[in-house]
Amino acid sequence: MKIVITGGAGFLGQRLAARLLERGKAVDGEGKTRDISELVLFDIAPAVPLADKRLCYISGDITDPETVRTLIDENTDSIFHLAAVVSAQAEEDFDLGYRINLDGTRLVLETARALPHLPKVIFTSSIATYGGTLPDVVTDETAQLPQTSYGCAKVMGEYLVQDYSRKGFIDGRSLRLPTISVRTGLPNKAASTWASSIIREPLCGRDAICPVSAETQMACMSPAKVIDALIHAHDLPASAFGMSRSLLLTGISVSAREMAAAVDRQRRNRSIGSIHWEADPAIQKIVNGWPKATRSARADALGFAKDESLDEMVLGFIRADLDNQLKLYDAGV
C-alpha cells in the first residue's frame, strides 16, 4: 500500500509518517487492512530523514502539475494533504496563500481523480473556517463564516473534497483541526504560533513573546490526538461520514493566562523562561475571530479521541518532545 503525505517535512507530516511506519498497516478503500509498502513525503523544504526503507522523499512545488503527477501515481492508495501556507502568511501574501492553499489542493484532487482506482484523500482543514459572531462553544451545527484568506481557502478545500467525493472521483475526508499545541520547532508565521511558544520556550529555559492578551482563549488539541484523528479518519469506512465528508474535532478551551500558569506548575527544579506580553493588533484580530472552544458530538460518536486537560497536553510535550526541543536549541538554532 502506497501512502503520500504532502507537507511531509512539516511538524505534523513528520509525526504522521513516524506513526504510520510504526503501525505498519492501514485500511484501504475496500476496507482491507494492508501493509504499508511505500510512504512518500512531499514538501517544498527538505525533510529530516527517518531511517526506513519504505520511505521516499520528494521535494517540489505543490502547484506544479508534472511534479504532482510524479508524486501521485497509479500505485497511490491514500493521500494525506497537509501542505499549506499558514494563516498570517496567507493574510499577508494573498496570491501565495491562494496559490498553495486553493490551487495546490485542487491540483492534488485532480491528480487523484485521474487514477484508475478510488484513492482516499484526507484533507486538513481548520477552525479558521469559522468567524463572525460565534457562540461560546462551536459545535457541528455552527455555520462557517471565515474572516481570513486562510480560512476561506480551507472552506473551499472542504467543499472540493465534498464534491469530488460525491462525484465518485475520490474517497475524501476533511478534518477541521483546532489549534495544535504544543508544537516542537520554532515560532512561525501562523497567527496561532504563540499557543505553542509560550509553553515550549519557557520550559526550555528561554523567554517567549505572546502577541495576544492574557485573556485570549483558544480551542486547542495536542499533536498526539491530532495524529490519532488523522489515522482514525483514514481507516474509517466512507459510510461512517454520511452526507458530510467534513468533520469538526473537539478542542479544549484555554486562555493564554492558563497556558502560562500550566507552565509554572511544571517549574519544579527547572529554570523557567519568562513570557513577555507584547500586543500585536493584527494577530489579536485574527485570533479573536476564531472559536474559543469546539465540541463535536459527531466526532465523539465516530470514536475520535480528545484531550482531557491542558496539563495533560503540557506533560505530553515534556515527556515526548522536550529533549528533542532542547537538542534543537543546543544545535544553535
What's the pLDDT score for residue 186?
Answer: 79
Closest CA to 176 of 191, 159, 194, 158: 158
Instruction: Using the CB atoms, write b or e for 200-219: b if 16+ within 10 Å.
Output: bbbbbebebebbbeeebbbb
* Exposed / middle / buried, residue 305 (Cβ in 10 Å: 0-12, 13-18, 19+): middle
- Angle made by CA atoms 23, 321, 45, in degrees to the nearest 5: 75
pLDDT, tens only, 35-53: 999 999 999 987 666 778 9
What's the pLDDT score for residue 47?
Answer: 67
pLDDT, tens only, 277-320: 999 999 999 899 889 999 999 999 999 999 999 999 999 999 99
pLDDT above 70 covers a percentage of the chain that reads 98
Confidence of residue 332 (pLDDT cuts 50, 70, 90): low
What's the pLDDT score for residue 71?
Answer: 95
Q: Is 329 a catalytic residue?
A: no
- Please name the residue that has the C-alpha cell 461512517: 240
DSSP string over 198-216: HHHHHHTT--EEE-S-TT-
pLDDT, tens only, 78-109: 999 999 998 889 999 999 999 999 999 999 99
- pLDDT surpassing 70 at residue 171: yes
pLDDT, tens only, 117-149: 999 999 999 999 999 999 999 999 999 999 999
Closest CA to 12 of 328, 329, 231, 332: 231
In Å, what is the CA distance from 7 to each residue of 101, 209, 222, 280?
A: 12, 27, 19, 28
Question: What does pLDDT average to over the chain?
Answer: 94
pLDDT, tens only, 189-205: 788 899 999 999 999 99
What's the pLDDT score for residue 3?
Answer: 98
Domains within the chain, CATH numbers bracketed: 2-330 (3.40.50.720)
| Helix 256-265 with 194-203: angle, nearest 10 deg | 20
- pLDDT surpassing 90 at residue 155: yes
Q: Which of 98, 130, 150, 164 is catalytic?
A: 150
Confidence of residue 187 (pLDDT cuts 50, 70, 90): confident
